[in-house]
Amino acid sequence: MVHKGSDNEQSKQIREELEELAPTLSRLPKKERHQVPGMYFTTLSNKVLNRIEQENKPKPGPLQILENLVGQWISARTAVAALSVLFVSIIGAHLYQAGQQVETTHYSLATLEYDELAYMLTSVDGDDLSLMLTDNDISDLDGEISYFSEDAELYDLYMNEIDEDLIMEEWL
């Protein structure tokens, strides 16, 4: 398509200017060399208005994104509730595990090797060790498999509140 100018006067002025500058060119018919697919211009306004509508749609928030991800079979609220339950369960399990580990540490002393126990007694302060084990613990250990019950000397050593110098002399 060649635009014929907003008014004839303008068109005439441009033609005269061109005749003066380039006579051969001014005699050529003005033709657009490009082809346009049929119906392109009749469908263009709808295409553009649809695009504008799409661009103006509000962008989904995090809850909507979650809802889209989870799908139609489960609502966002249910998904949030399920995640909360899962979270509480994980925290509960973690805390339970931590409690179990305290118990494990407590009894693991009874499984120490002789050399390991001697090392502990030399490296741990007597006050600290007495905080770690109570009299009841010692009694319990006494009834179970314990180096204390097997070796009266070691038991006495502990009961006399650990003398590091003595341990050094006796065991190392």
Partner 1 sequence: MSSIDKEILQRFAIPAEREAAFRMLVDTYSERLYYQIRRLVDTHEDTDDVLQNVLVKAWRYLGKFNGEAALYTWLYRIAYNESMTYLKQRNKRTTGSIEDVQEASTTEAYMPAEDIEERLQQAIDALPDKQKLVFQMRYYDELPYEEMSQVLGTSVGALKASYHHAAKKIEAHLTGH
Binding site for partner 1 (CB under 8 A): 1-6, 10-11, 14, 18, 21-25, 28, 30-37, 40-41, 44-45, 47-49, 51-52, 55
Among residues 2 and 102, whose Cβ is nearest to partner 1? 2
Best CA proximity match to 14, nearest among 85, 54, 3, 166: 3
Residue 87 CA to residue 91 CA, distance in Å, equals 6
Among residues 25 and 102, whose Cβ is nearest to partner 1? 25
Among residues 32 and 153, whose Cβ is nearest to partner 1? 32
Among residues 22 and 91, whose Cβ is nearest to partner 1? 22
Q: Name the one residue in this structure whose structure tokens are 């749609």.
A: 57
CB of 51 to partner 1, least distance (A): 6
Residue 171 CA to residue 122 CA, distance in Å, equals 9
Burial code of 111-150, b = ≥16 C-beta within 10 A, e = fewer? eeeeeebbeebeeeeeeeeeeeeeeeeeeebeeeebbbee
CB of 44 to partner 1, least distance (A): 6
CB of 60 to partner 1, least distance (A): 21
Element (H, E) at 148: helix 147-150
CB of 24 to partner 1, least distance (A): 5
